[in-house]
Amino acid sequence: MSTSKGHKRSHSVATAPTDFGEVVDASEQKDANKRVLIEGIDGSSVAVAATTGKTNADDNDDDDDDANADDGAGAGAGAGAAGGKSGKQLRQERRNQRRLTAKAVQADDVVVSTINPLTGTPVKPITYNPLLLLSSPSALMDPQSTYTAVHGANAKPELELRLEQFFKQSGSSHLRLKDLQDLILWVVGDGINLRWVIVKNKPLIPRVVTVLLHNINPQMYAYYSDCFPFLSSKFQTAIPTRCPGSKVRIYSPVHNFLNIPLLKSKKKDDSNKASSAATNMESVYPKSHYFLTTEQMRNHGYPMPIDVRTPEEAGQFSEYKTLGKRDPNQTASAELPVFSLDCEMVKSEQGFELARLAIVSEKLEVLYDELIKPARPIVDYCTRYSGITPDMLENVTSTLKDAQDAVLRLIPSNAILVGHSLENDLNVLKIIHHQIVDTALAYSHTRGSNFKPSLRWLTETYLKRIIQADEGGHNPAEDASACMELLRLKLKNGPSFGINEEETESMALRLTRSGKKSTIIDIPTIARQHSIGDTNIVPCPSDDEILAAAIKAVDGPSSFVWSHFHGLEDFFSEAANQTDLDEQRLKAILTSYDQRAKLIYEACPANTLVVYFTGHGPIDELKRLQRQKDAAGAQWTATQEHELEEEVMKARDSLTFMGIKQ
pLDDT tens profile 592-606: 999 999 999 999 999
> What are the CA-CA distances from residue 280 to residues 159, 267, 378 (Å)?
41, 17, 49
Task: Answer whether residue 315 is part of any domain.
Answer: yes
Q: Are residues 614 and 480 in the same domain?
A: no
Cα–Cα distance between 282 and 278 in angstroms, integer?
8
Please give the torsion angle defined by the CA atoms of residues 302, 308, 310 and 315, in that order, rounded to the nearest 10 degrees. 60
Q: Containing H/E element for 416?
A: strand 416-419
C-alpha span between 445 and 553 (Å, rounded):
38
Q: 130 in a domain, yes or no?
A: no
Q: Which residues contact residue 116 at a Cβ distance below 8 angstroms, ignoring those fewer than 6 apart?
A: 122, 123, 223
Within a domain: 180: no
Could you say which DSSP state residue 529 is in? G
Residues ≥6 apart with Cβ < 8 Å to 629: 248, 636, 640, 641, 644
Tell me: do 538 and 632 sit in the same domain. Answer: yes
Task: Report the 10 Å Cβ neighbour count for 527.
Answer: 24
Q: Is residue 85 part of a domain?
A: no
Is the residue at 401 inside a domain?
yes
Does one domain contain both 344 and 435? yes
Measured CA to CA, the distance from residue 40 to residue 454 in angstroms comes to 37
Instruction: In whole angstroms, give the CA distance from residue 181 to residue 343.
Output: 41
H or E element, residue 512: helix 507-513
pLDDT at 184: 97
State which residues form the domain around 454: 283-493
**Model pLDDT, residue 95:** 65
- What span, in angstroms and rounded, lies between the C-alpha atoms of 215 and 615? 6
Helix (H) or strand (E) holding 521: strand 518-522
DSSP letter for 90, please.
Answer: H
How many whole angstroms separate alpha carbon 60 and alpha carbon 62?
5
Structure confidence by residue, pLDDT tens digits, 507-539: 998 999 889 999 999 988 788 777 777 889 999
Q: Are residues 434 and 512 in the same domain?
A: no
Which residue from 623, 525, 565, 573 is spatially nearest to 314, judged by alpha carbons?
573
**What pLDDT score was predicted for residue 16?**
41
Q: Are 65 and 91 in contact (CB under 8 A)?
A: yes
Provide the Cα torsion 29, 34, 37, 38; round to 10°. Answer: 30
Same domain, 489 and 519: no
Kindly state whether residues 358 and 311 are assigned to the same domain.
yes
CA 538 – CA 54 distance, rounded (Å): 47
- What is the crossing angle of helices 620-632 and 638-652, to 10°? 150
Distances from the Cα of 352 to the Cαs of 160, 403, 459, 662, in angstroms? Answer: 58, 15, 25, 60
Q: How far apart are CA 245 and CA 252, in angstroms?
A: 8
Instruction: State whether 610 and 645 are in the same domain.
Output: yes
**Its pTM surpasses 0.85:** no
For residue 231, is it within any domain? no
Tell me the helix, strand and coil percentages in the chain, rounded to 5: 45, 20, 35
Q: Determine, yes or no, domain membership for 522.
A: yes
- Return the bridge partners of 361, or none: 339
pLDDT digits (tens, 9 = 90+) for 249-294: 888 899 889 988 776 555 455 444 444 444 456 656 888 889 998 8
Q: Number of structural domains, the chain?
A: 2
Those residues whose C-beta lies under 8 Å from the C-beta of residue 263, and which sit 6 or more positions away, are none
**Which segments of 243-397 are extended strands (E)?**
259-261, 321-322, 338-348, 351-361, 366-371, 378-380
Domain boundary among 450, 468, 493: 493
Position 334 scores a pLDDT of 66
471/350 same-domain check: yes
Write out residues in the chain with pLDDT < 50, as ranges. 1-12, 14-83, 100-114, 124-149, 267, 270-279
DSSP per residue, 319-343: T-EES----TTPPP-TTS-EEEEEE
Q: What is the CATH number of the domain that holds 317?
A: 3.30.420.10
CA distance 386 to 377: 17
- Report if residue 144 sits inside a domain: no
Q: Are residues 464 and 316 in the same domain?
A: yes
Question: E strands within 542-642?
Answer: 560-565, 609-613
Q: Which of 428, 460, 493 is the last residue of a domain?
A: 493
Q: Write out the E strands in 178-242.
A: 197-200, 208-213, 237-242
Where b means 16+ CB within 10 Å and e means fewer, 286-323 reads bbbbbbbbbbbbbbbebbbbeebbbeebeeebeebbeb
SS3 for 518?
strand
The domain boundary, picked from 466, 493, 520, lies at 493
Q: Which amino acid is at 367?
A: L
Separation of first and last alpha carbons in the chain: 26
Same domain, 429 and 355: yes
The answer to whether residues 603 and 521 belong to one domain is yes
Specify the pLDDT at position 128.
Answer: 39
* pLDDT on residue 160: 94
Question: Which residue stretches of 190-263 are H helix?
Answer: 218-223, 229-234, 253-258
Give yes or no for a contact between 617 and 654, defined as CB atoms under 8 angstroms apart.
Answer: yes
pLDDT value of residue 506: 84
Cβ contact 560:519 at 8 Å? yes
507 and 645 in a single domain? The answer is: yes
